[in-house]
């Protein structure tokens, strides 16, 4: 970094930001497409095996990380406690499963908007796990964001918890809401434990 110019650092930062956003947008579009289309097209069944998506994702992550370990050959650490890596791993798996499973009961836009309320659970989990202290204005900001999301969701005609990912009425909408609450819990635990 000391040898690079300010312009090249900004260029690299911009490329990383664009590629990261492209990756997440592509992932979201493919996820929605996979869960909202019939297989075979128009006449078949919907994809309902959310645990298969989570397992496939984690399996290929394991393969890629194993290949990177073989390629990079990092030094082993004497202070690393291996079993502690299982906590964020399991909570990450559970948060992904809750997110995918919630799509069986609520719409994709409802899930996306609900995920925007992540700030408050992350702050609460940071206080519980790491005894982090946040300025008072951040708590107020988290409350305002939550209230704004709730107002948006209740005022938008097409954004209800009554429709599932296939656009059909769901009688178990509160199951979807509870799965989203669990998603936020596990996801905030994962990020705070990793910190």
pLDDT digit of tens for each residue in the chain (195 aa)? 567 888 898 999 999 999 999 998 898 788 778 877 888 887 888 777 777 877 888 888 889 988 998 999 888 777 777 788 888 889 988 998 898 888 777 777 777 778 878 888 888 888 888 888 888 888 888 888 888 877 776 676 555 566 666 666 766 778 888 998 999 999 999 988 887
The label of the residue with tokens 């656009």 reads 167
Residue 96 carries which DSSP code? H
Identify the pLDDT of residue 159: 55
How far apart are the two ends of the chain, measured CA to CA in Å? 25
92 phi/psi in degrees, rounded to 5: -65, -40
- For the entire predicted model, the pTM comes to 0.69
Identify the pLDDT of residue 30: 84
Q: What is the C-alpha to C-alpha distance for residues 179 and 186, in angstroms, rounded to an integer?
A: 10
Identify the pLDDT of residue 64: 93
Of 110, 99, 117, 112, which is closest to residue 162 (Cα–Cα)?
A: 110
The torsion defined by the Cα of 58, 61, 63 and 69, in degrees rounded to 10, comes to -140
Say if residues 90 and 178 touch (Cβ distance below 8 Å): no
Identify the pLDDT of residue 13: 94
């Amino acid at each position: 970094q000391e040898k690079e110019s300010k312009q090249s650092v900004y260029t690299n930062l911009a490329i990383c930001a664009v590629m990261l956003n492209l990756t997440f947008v592509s992932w979201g579009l493919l996820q929605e497409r996979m869960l909202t289309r019939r297989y075979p097209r128009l006449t078949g069944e919907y994809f309902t095996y959310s645990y298969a998506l989570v397992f496939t994702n984690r399996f290929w992550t394991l393969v890629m990380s194993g290949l990177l370990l073989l390629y990079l050959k990092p030094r082993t650490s004497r202070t690393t406690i291996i079993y502690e890596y299982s906590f964020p791993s399991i909570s990450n798996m559970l948060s992904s499963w809750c997110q995918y499973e919630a799509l069986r009961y609520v719409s994709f836009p409802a899930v996306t908007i609900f995920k925007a309320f992540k700030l408050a659970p992350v702050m609460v989990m940071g206080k519980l796990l790491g005894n982090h202290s946040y300025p008072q204005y951040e708590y107020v900001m988290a409350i305002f964001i939550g209230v704004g999301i709730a107002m948006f969701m209740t005022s938008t005609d097409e954004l209800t918890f009554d429709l599932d990912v296939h656009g059909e009425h769901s009688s178990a909408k509160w199951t979807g809401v509870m799965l989203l609450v669990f998603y936020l819990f596990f996801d905030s635990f994962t990020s705070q434990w990793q910190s």
